Copies of this chain bind each other. A is one copy, B any other.
Amino acid sequence: MTLNETLSRLKGQGVKITPQRLEILKVLLDEERYYSAEEILKKVQERYPAVSFDTVYRTLYLLKRLGLVIELNFQGGYRRFEFNHEDKHHHHLVCLKCGLSRKLSCCPTGCLLTIKKEHPEFAITGHSFEIYGYCEDCQEDGND
C-alpha cells in the first residue's frame, strides 16, 4: 500500500492526519520489517525532536485497531510493529537480530481445520505462526 492510499483510507475513517502520524507512517512504510516502539520514536525524532512515546504508542495502537499495523510478540517479551501492506492475513519469517521480516506464502490452514474439528467447544479468535532465525547479514556477525 502506498502512503497516499493509506492516508485517504485514514481520512475515510475520520482519523486526523497530524505531522507526527504522517512521519510514523513514513517510517513504517519505508522498510518491510518489524520495528520496536523505540526505533520508531528515534526515527520520527530525527524530524520532530519533540515527539513523545505517548504519541508513538497511541498511533501504533490506533493503526493496529484499524488493521494497518501488525504487532508481534518476540521471545523475551519484546513487542514489535510492522505495517500490514496487504489486507489479507499472512505470516512472517523474522530475523531475531535486526527485525527484518519476509512475508510467507503459506498459512497452516490444514492444521486449523483439523483443530476446529477436534475442539468444537473452543471459540477460536486467531492464531500466530511465525518462523524465527537469522537473516543472511546477521548470521555473519556473532549472533547471541
Contact = CB atoms under 8 A, between A and B. Distances in A.
A73 interface: yes
B133 A126 contact: yes
A110 interface: yes
Given A102-B119, A111-B107, A114-B106, A128 B130 contact: yes
This chain's copy number in the assembly: 2
Q: Per DSSP, are chain A's interface residues mostly helix, strand or loop, or mixed?
A: mixed
A18 B140 CA distance: 41
A106 B114 CA distance: 8
Given A75-B73, A77-B79, A124 B133 contact: yes
A46 interface: no
Nearest to A131: B127
A115 B121 contact: no
Instruction: From A102, A105, A114, A122, name the one whose CB has the most chain B CB atoms within 10 angstroms.
Output: A122
